Chains A and B, each alone.
With several copies, the nearest count.
Chain A
Amino acid sequence: MALTREQIAMRVAQELQDGFYVNLGIGIPTLAANYVSTDIEVMLQSENGLLGMGPYPTEDQVDPDMINAGKETVTAVKGASIFSSAESFAMIRGGHVDLTVLGAFEVDQNGNIASYMIPGKLVKGMGGAMDLVAGAPNIIVTMTHADKHGNSKLLESCTLPLTGVNCIKKVITDLAVLDIRDGAFHLLETAPGISVEEVQAKTKGKLIVSDSVREMQFN
Chain B
Amino acid sequence: MAGFNKVVTNYADAMNGLEDGMTVISGGFGLCGIPEGLIAQIKEMGVKDLTFVSNNCGVDDFGLGVLLENKQIKKMISSYVGENALFEKQFLSGELEVELTPQGTLAEKMRAGGAGIPAFYTATGYGTPVAEGKETREFNGRHYVLEEAITADFAIIRAWKADKMGNLIYRDTAMNFNPMAATAGKITVAEVEEIVEVGELEPTHIHTPGIYVNRVIKGNFEKRIEKLTLSR
Contact = CB atoms under 8 A, between A and B. Distances in A.
A42 to B, nearest CB: 7
Interface centre among A40, A45, A51, A124, by most B CB within 10 Å? A124
A193 interface: no
A71 B3 CA distance: 28
Interface stretch (A13-21, A144-152, A197-205): A13-21
Contacts of A91: 115, 209, 211-212
Given A85-B176, A131-B104, A93 B116 contact: yes
B171 A84 contact: no
B215 to A, nearest CB: 13
A21 B167 CA distance: 13
Contact of A57 (B124, B209, B230): B230
Given A50-B173, A89-B107, A131-B104, A78 B199 contact: yes
Given A84-B107, A128-B102, A165 B127 contact: yes
Contact of B3 (A18, A50, A85, A126): A18
Contacts of B117: 93
Nearest to B231: A56
Which interface class (under 10, 10 to 19, 20 to 34, 35 or more) fits B?
35 or more
A67 B173 CA distance: 6
Interface stretch (B27-35, B39-47, B66-74): B27-35
A43 B115 contact: no
Interface in B1-27: 1-4
B158 to A, nearest CB: 10
Contacts of B177: 84-86
Nearest to B204: A82
B122 to A, nearest CB: 6
Contact of A86 (B124, B179, B201): B179
Nearest to B145: A134
B175 A83 contact: yes
Given A56-B229, A127-B103, A131-B104, 13 more contacts: A41-B3, A48-B173, A64-B32, A73-B225, A73-B230, A81-B210, A86-B108, A89-B107, A90-B183, A94-B113, A125-B79, A126-B130, A131-B122
Pick the 8 closest A-B CB pairs, nearest first: A89-B104, A124-B82, A19-B3, A131-B104, A93-B116, A90-B115, A165-B127, A78-B199
Interface of B: 1-4, 29-33, 55, 78-82, 88, 91-92, 98, 100, 102-105, 107-108, 110-111, 113-117, 122-130, 143, 163, 165, 167, 171-180, 183, 198-199, 201, 203-204, 206-207, 209-212, 223-231
